[in-house]
């Protein structure tokens, strides 16, 4: 009886959080970002959203930041938002252009950061998907895998070799993954596959070196442009432009929690989940009660697809409930 009560109390407490419990508590107890002062940090996917906010908050913490993405104009705008007088360098980069990316790694690691090298590599470039699996062609899946997974692996290995991490036995990688890599997500099958690949690869890479720190950060829905720019059909892309951000976590709150985890004990924050409810609850269920999560997904998934095809906001639970559901 006591065990059942404890489980119920734990579930209710978890449902009140916006990050996994250890991170939520740590963020309250250790708010200082002094850890980042004078750290050399490279952020990819930094022209908007999470990457841009990371640049702003890290510049305020005194880090030396390099920001990269394809859009140079937007990168310059992000630099303008950073703390005045802070060290922020713009390096335009398409991470899927392997030859250009390798050259940029050499220029940044050996040229810009020099003898001290790179302290933290934040792999944040990526693209989402909003389309049923049966309407997602193989090329779209390949493009997502190329950007979200293969380019991250290639850049990581190039940085590790160029900066001689193995010889120096030092290195810190932060990967922006997704809760989609942890649980079933209707309308995001190919995207979820790329994030599951990210989780598996970087967890395995971490296991090969006792000195290597790898933080896998799994956000839920965040109020960034990633949904509006998701891989979709022509009709779906139009619908995404009007998607509400009311039920998504503000990017500054997410970034604060993310940076709390990155500076925390590596034994505790090797993987973090950050999201508003009910997504955080579903993520916990997928990890600890997978049978429950799978059965819930078979109820919620078809309703999300119907809501999407009807032009409704799939992140609003009210969009999932039809008149037939109420009458039943």
Q: What is the pLDDT of residue 230?
A: 83
Q: What is the pLDDT of residue 11?
A: 57
Q: What is the pLDDT of residue 232?
A: 74
Decide: residue 133, CB within 10 A, 0-12 exposed, 13-18 middle, 19+ buried.
Answer: middle
From the options 3.10.20.90, 3.40.50.720, 3.40.190.10, 3.30.470.30, give the CATH code of 2-31+126-289.
3.40.50.720
pLDDT digits (tens, 9 = 90+) for 114-173: 888 999 999 999 999 999 999 999 999 999 999 999 999 999 999 999 999 999 999 999
Cβ neighbours of residue 9 under 8 Å, at least 6 residues apart?
Answer: none
Q: Where are the domains of the chain?
A: 2-31+126-289
Does 270 participate in catalysis according to the annotation? no
pLDDT digits (tens, 9 = 90+) for 222-274: 998 877 788 777 767 776 766 777 789 999 999 999 999 999 999 999 999 99
Let me know: does 92 contact 75? Beta carbons within 8 Å: yes
Lowest mean pLDDT among 3-7, 140-144, 191-195, 210-214: 3-7
Q: What would the two tokens of residue 263 be?
A: 């500076």
- CA–CA separation, 248 and 54 (whole Å): 18
**CA angle (218 as vertex; 217, 220 as ends), nearest 5:** 140
- CA–CA separation, 122 and 159 (whole Å): 11
For residue 67, list its beta bridge partners: 43, 90
Q: What is the pLDDT of residue 16?
A: 79
pLDDT digits (tens, 9 = 90+) for 170-181: 999 999 999 999
* Radius of gyration (C-alpha) of the chain in whole angstroms: 20
Q: What is the pLDDT of residue 86?
A: 93
- CA–CA separation, 67 and 262 (whole Å): 18
Q: What would the two tokens of residue 178 be?
A: 């997704």
Q: Looking at the predicted structure, is the pLDDT value of residue 325 above 70?
A: no
Q: Which of 26, 36, 191, 315 is catalytic?
A: 191
What is the 3-state secondary structure of the chain?
CHHHHHHHHHHHHHHCCCECHHHHHHHHHCCCCHHHCCCEEEEECCCCHHHHHHHHHHHHCCCEEEEECCCHHHHHHHHHHCCCCCCEEECCCCCCCHHHHHHHHHHHHHHHCHHHCCCEEEECCCCCECCCHHHCCHHHHHHHHHHHHHHHHHHHHHHHHHCCHHHHCCCEEEEECCHHHCCCCCCCHHHHHHHHHHHHHHHHHHHCCCCCEEEEEEECCECCCCCCCCECCHHHHHHHCCCCCCCCECHHHHHHHHHHHHHCCCCCCCEEEECCCCHHHHHHHHHHCHHHHHHHHHHHHHHHHHHHHCCCCCCCHHHCCCHHHHHC
Q: What is the pLDDT of residue 17?
A: 93
Q: What is the pTM of this model?
A: 0.91
Q: What is the pLDDT of residue 114?
A: 84
What is the band of 212 on the pLDDT scale with cuts at 50, 70, 90? Answer: very high
Largest CA distance in the chain: 69
Q: Looking at the predicted structure, is the pLDDT value of residue 279 above 70?
A: yes
Q: What is the pLDDT of residue 58?
A: 98
pLDDT digits (tens, 9 = 90+) for 33-85: 999 999 999 999 999 999 999 999 999 999 999 999 999 999 999 999 999 99
Q: Looking at the predicted structure, is the pLDDT value of residue 326 above 50?
A: no
Place of tokens 């693209």: 127
What is the band of 3 on the pLDDT scale with cuts at 50, 70, 90? Answer: low
């Amino acid at each position: 009886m006591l065990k059942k009560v404890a489980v119920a109390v734990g579930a209710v407490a978890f449902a009140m959080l916006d990050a996994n419990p250890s991170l939520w508590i740590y963020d309250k107890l250790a708010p200082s970002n002094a850890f980042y002062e004078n750290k050399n940090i490279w952020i990819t996917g930094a022209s908007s959203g999470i990457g841009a906010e990371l640049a702003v908050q890290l510049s305020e913490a005194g880090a030396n930041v390099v920001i990269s993405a394809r859009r140079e104009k937007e990168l310059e705008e992000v630099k303008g938002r950073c703390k005045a007088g802070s060290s922020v360098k713009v390096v335009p980069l398409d991470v899927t252009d392997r030859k250009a990316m390798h050259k940029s790694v050499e220029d940044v690691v050996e040229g810009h950061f020099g003898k001290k090298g790179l302290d933290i590599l934040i792999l944040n470039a990526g693209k989402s998907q909003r389309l049923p699996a049966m309407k997602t062609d193989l090329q779209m899946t390949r493009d997502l895998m190329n950007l979200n997974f293969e380019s991250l692996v290639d850049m990581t290995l190039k940085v590790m070799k160029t900066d001689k991490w193995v010889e120096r036995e030092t290195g810190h990688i932060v990967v922006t993954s997704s809760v989609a890599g942890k649980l079933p997500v209707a309308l995001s099958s190919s995207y979820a596959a790329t994030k599951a690949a990210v989780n598996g690869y970087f967890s395995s890479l971490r296991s090969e070196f006792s000195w290597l720190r790898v933080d896998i950060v799994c956000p839920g829905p965040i109020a960034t442009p990633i949904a509006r720019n998701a891989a979709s059909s022509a009709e779906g892309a139009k619908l995404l432009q009007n998607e509400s951000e009311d039920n998504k976590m503000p990017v500054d709150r997410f970034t604060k929690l993310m940076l709390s985890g990155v500076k925390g004990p590596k034994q505790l924050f090797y993987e973090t989940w950050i999201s508003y409810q009910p997504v955080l609850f579903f993520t916990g269920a997928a990890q600890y009660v997978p049978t429950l999560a799978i059965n819930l997904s078979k109820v919620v998934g078809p309703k999300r697809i119907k809501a999407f095809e009807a032009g409704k906001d799939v992140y609003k639970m009210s969009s999932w409930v039809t008149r037939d559901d109420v009458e039943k």
